Structure 1
Amino acid sequence: MQKTILSLTIGLSLFLGLSACQPTSNTSLESNDPKNAEQVNTPTPMPIETTISKPSTPTDSAIDAKTCLSLSNTIKKVDNTSKIDAIYAIQKQLKSCLPTASNDEVLSLLKDYQTMYKRFLSHETDMNTVESELAFFNILSALEQDKKIPKEDLEQISPRLRYLISLIQSDADVSVRHLGEGFYTFDHDLKAMADIFTPYLLPDQKAFIERMATDNQDIFWSDVAITTTFKELVKRAVFWEDYGQRYPNGYAIKDAKFLLDVYRNALFFGSNNTRWVDNNVQTFTQPQYQQLMMQLAKRPNSALAKDAQTYLEFLVLSDSERQQTYPAPSTDEKGYKLDERAMVHYQLKKRCRFLLFGMPMATIESA
């Protein structure tokens, strides 16, 4: 029986990276780069709901300041014994604190908030028997399919797990996510979390957080297959290339470059169970894939466009031209004979070596 696991990620959590079976990065909260502070202007804080009110009195300000100073400690006290009401109370306090917080304080609170939810949803220690694991799988599978949960399964799991499941059923900010291959986990609304914090971030920080929150709502890898569409891969690769060009010294720029590599490799190499071209790498499996690749190749001032041009040029080479220009060995490093598909991919990687630079192919929450 497979054990249930918690998701991160590129779900996927915002800053904790992508997973071994999905693109994984060591995305982290980085301190602001002084160079970036010069290239972007601090955005005017956008009021949120109750922040649109009469000007605060000195007494109100004093109370808010005291609350804000202790908020980080309050967030850190939330764990897997807490109730959802504790989180709702924190969200209310954040609406008062964030408009007056410094950029570093906003980022610190955001990191604390995300880690808080990870603790709140943690449940690994509650899976003590094969029966409880099987019951947990049956329950989350039923939730995913909007089916009725068998009472006998609920009796097999811990009170904490029953509480988390009740939150899902009551439409609280808790959901179930299928990670593939029989793995399930609890998650929360990343976009709602981003909405709380992004009005008080610098433009490059806001762009990064909003994109990660959107992309990490679903897993990227499942059963060695890419779960998103080819069109979406193009969009994500283009976004991260544009981000790097717009904010060369921006927030988490290293992670942005990593994500560009993730999606670029997914575009040109696919995965074991996801192929955009035939085994001979000569014909796209769907006409729209070729159309999208040709559109990508026409982007101005784009390294991705040059990659796409190189890829398209490789596709039209004959077998003899490929072997003459990029000779492939008859055996691999272990002495095993290379089949036709393996030889073609060897040649493709020789032709498109730029695709491999800086890319840990085995680990992306994932490509």
Structure 2
Amino acid sequence: MQKTLLSLTTVMSLLVALSGCQPKVETPAESNDRQRVERNNQQPLSIEQSKPAVVTEPAIDAKTCLDLSKSMQKVDETSKIEAIYAIQKRLKNCLPTANNAEVLSLLTDYQAMYKRFLTISQTMEDENFYTVMSMADEGKKVPEPLLKTLNPRLQYFIRLVEDDADVRVIYLGEGYYEFTHDLQAMVDIFTPYLRQDQKAFIERLAMDNQDILWNDGGIAISFVEVIERAQFWEDYIARYPKGYAYQDAKHLSEVYRYLILFGSENTQWTDDSIHEFVTPEYRPLMLKLARRPNSVLARDAQALLDFIALTDSQRQEKYPTSGIDENGDEMSEWAIARYQRAEALPMESPWQAATKNCFIGVFCVEKDTE
């Protein structure tokens, strides 16, 4: 009996010892914490180091992916939104098998597909078009009798807007409306398979171009946002000197630099004499921008601040003008101030030599192919 007890005691001791040697089983919370730390430690710093995420999807027939571009080309202004949903499903399966060039090509095709899908033909009988589009833009429910006065395709799109499908109304200014879609939702399908520089460029355009930049000759965004966009593109071309669409990024940087300094036809940041800002909050924004290190924008901001501080006599001494324009007419104070500002801040309009439009969709496109 004593031997039996001794044997049992020995066995139990061995089991306890062995259990102490087993690896600790992570709880779900511990596993999530560890994975989160590992993710945070992965910070791509260059194009070479930045690789697309690896996303595993169910296997799919190769022919289905090869024909995907052709399938997108079949979607047009007569299609239903279910055709787009079907394309989205196929993309989620095919993109993990595509190389970088193929992913960009599919994104280009997808954007063109949505543009065709949202094409509308505004006809003379659609007399209530602007009323209905204005209501939809403001999130108002369009009464059925009013909706019925539009052509069937317009009715279909308005119902999609009201049903929270990926269709929305956008006001383009000067009385024009059109239908658009969620650009961020579109790029979210593709960005897991793109390099970091490509992702940064495309996601930025998706965010900025969701709404209009211009409205009736004026700038449709705030001065704060103009500055923020200028800083983003200056940072992008500095961080990715060999990055995706580098020349397009340089053009965008120049556009927002120009808007900071000169505004637009119907949007000015300063008074007519360019002696003070139209809003007191603008001055500290420019002072902050002038302190930006290693920045062309900082130089611009300081130059504008210096010009604003000059008296009229100081301006005439530094940037003399006869007061007569090229037509032989006397220049107004407004015209003189702008002439002297142009002398103090020499910068060509970025639109003079521009061949691309970077303010529609998520790519800069040649103007003759818009």
Instruction: Answer whether TM exceeds 0.5 for this pair.
Output: yes
Between the aligned partners of 1:42 and 1:343, the Cα distance in structure 2 is 51
Asked whether the equivalents of residues 52 and 196 of structure 2 are also in contact (C-alpha less than 8 Å), the reply is no
Asked whether the equivalents of residues 204 and 247 of structure 1 are also in contact (C-alpha less than 8 Å), the reply is yes
Instruction: Give the CA RMSD over aligned residues.
Output: 2.1
Instruction: Report SS of the residue matched to 1:179.
Output: strand
Out of 297, 301, 320, the position equivalent to 1:304 is 297
Asked whether the equivalents of residues 225 and 274 of structure 1 are also in contact (C-alpha less than 8 Å), the reply is yes
Instruction: Report SS of the residue matched to 2:292.
Output: coil
CA deviation after TM superposition for structure 1 residue 119, in Å: 0.2
> Deviations along 1:162-209, whole A, 9 cap, x unmatched?
111111111100000011221111000001011111111111110000
Between the aligned partners of 2:163 and 2:198, the Cα distance in structure 1 is 33
- Residue 172 of structure 1 is matched in structure 2 by 165
- Residue 15 of structure 1 is matched in structure 2 by none
Asked whether the equivalents of residues 252 and 358 of structure 2 are also in contact (C-alpha less than 8 Å), the reply is no
Between the aligned partners of 2:357 and 2:70, the Cα distance in structure 1 is 33
Between the aligned partners of 1:277 and 1:95, the Cα distance in structure 2 is 49
- Residue 338 of structure 1 is matched in structure 2 by 331
- Residue 70 of structure 2 is matched in structure 1 by 73
- Residue 356 of structure 1 is matched in structure 2 by 348
Out of 73, 80, 83, the position equivalent to 2:80 is 83
Instruction: Report SS of the residue matched to 2:224.
Output: helix
Structure 1 residues 359 and 312 mapped into 2: Cα distance closer, same or farther (>3 Å)?
A: farther
Between the aligned partners of 1:231 and 1:361, the Cα distance in structure 2 is 27
Residues 152-301 of structure 1 mapped to structure 2, 5 A cutoff: 152-301=145-294
Between the aligned partners of 2:328 and 2:145, the Cα distance in structure 1 is 55
- Residue 49 of structure 2 is matched in structure 1 by 41
CA deviation after TM superposition for structure 1 residue 46, in Å: 4.6
More divergent stretch after superposition (167-176 vs 323-332):
323-332
The one-letter code sitting in structure 2 at the alignment partner of 1:226 is I
Please report the TM-score for the alignment, with normalisation by the length of structure 2. 0.80
Asked whether the equivalents of residues 80 and 122 of structure 1 are also in contact (C-alpha less than 8 Å), the reply is yes
CA deviation after TM superposition for structure 1 residue 286, in Å: 1.9
Asked whether the equivalents of residues 270 and 276 of structure 1 are also in contact (C-alpha less than 8 Å), the reply is yes
The one-letter code sitting in structure 2 at the alignment partner of 1:123 is I
- Residue 5 of structure 1 is matched in structure 2 by none
Instruction: Report SS of the residue matched to 2:281.
Output: helix
Asked whether the equivalents of residues 255 and 350 of structure 2 are also in contact (C-alpha less than 8 Å), the reply is no
Asked whether the equivalents of residues 137 and 168 of structure 2 are also in contact (C-alpha less than 8 Å), the reply is no
Instruction: Report SS of the residue matched to 1:219.
Output: coil
CA deviation after TM superposition for structure 1 residue 358, in Å: 4.1
The one-letter code sitting in structure 2 at the alignment partner of 1:200 is Y
CA deviation after TM superposition for structure 1 residue 329, in Å: 3.6
- Residue 142 of structure 1 is matched in structure 2 by 135
Out of 93, 106, 115, the position equivalent to 1:118 is 115
CA deviation after TM superposition for structure 1 residue 361, in Å: 9.5
- Residue 26 of structure 2 is matched in structure 1 by none
CA deviation after TM superposition for structure 1 residue 128, in Å: 2.5
Q: Percent identity?
A: 51
Asked whether the equivalents of residues 220 and 365 of structure 1 are also in contact (C-alpha less than 8 Å), the reply is no
CA deviation after TM superposition for structure 1 residue 156, in Å: 2.9
Between the aligned partners of 2:349 and 2:214, the Cα distance in structure 1 is 21
Instruction: Report SS of the residue matched to 1:232.
Output: helix
Between the aligned partners of 2:353 and 2:73, the Cα distance in structure 1 is 35
The one-letter code sitting in structure 2 at the alignment partner of 1:171 is D
CA deviation after TM superposition for structure 1 residue 42, in Å: 4.6
Between the aligned partners of 1:307 and 1:260, the Cα distance in structure 2 is 13
Out of 112, 116, 123, the position equivalent to 1:128 is 123
CA deviation after TM superposition for structure 1 residue 257, in Å: 1.1
- Residue 309 of structure 2 is matched in structure 1 by 316
More divergent stretch after superposition (302-311 vs 204-213):
302-311
> Deviations along 1:232-287, whole A, 9 cap, x unmatched?
11110000001111111211111111111111111111123222111111111222
Between the aligned partners of 2:138 and 2:279, the Cα distance in structure 1 is 30
Asked whether the equivalents of residues 270 and 277 of structure 2 are also in contact (C-alpha less than 8 Å), the reply is yes
Structure 1 residues 78 and 217 mapped into 2: Cα distance closer, same or farther (>3 Å)?
A: same
Structure 1 residues 193 and 365 mapped into 2: Cα distance closer, same or farther (>3 Å)?
A: closer
CA deviation after TM superposition for structure 1 residue 359, in Å: 4.3
Instruction: Report SS of the residue matched to 2:244.
Output: coil
Structure of greater relative contact order (alpha carbons < 8 Å, 6+ residues apart): 1
Asked whether the equivalents of residues 50 and 196 of structure 2 are also in contact (C-alpha less than 8 Å), the reply is yes
Residues 19-34 of structure 1 mapped to structure 2, 5 A cutoff: none
Between the aligned partners of 1:364 and 1:315, the Cα distance in structure 2 is 32
1:94 aligns with 2:91: yes
Instruction: Report SS of the residue matched to 2:177.
Output: strand
Asked whether the equivalents of residues 75 and 90 of structure 1 are also in contact (C-alpha less than 8 Å), the reply is yes
Please report the TM-score for the alignment, with normalisation by the length of structure 1. 0.80
Asked whether the equivalents of residues 219 and 267 of structure 2 are also in contact (C-alpha less than 8 Å), the reply is yes
Between the aligned partners of 1:40 and 1:308, the Cα distance in structure 2 is 34
Give the count of matched residue pairs.
313
More divergent stretch after superposition (142-151 vs 228-237):
142-151
The one-letter code sitting in structure 2 at the alignment partner of 1:103 is N
More divergent stretch after superposition (265-274 vs 191-200):
265-274
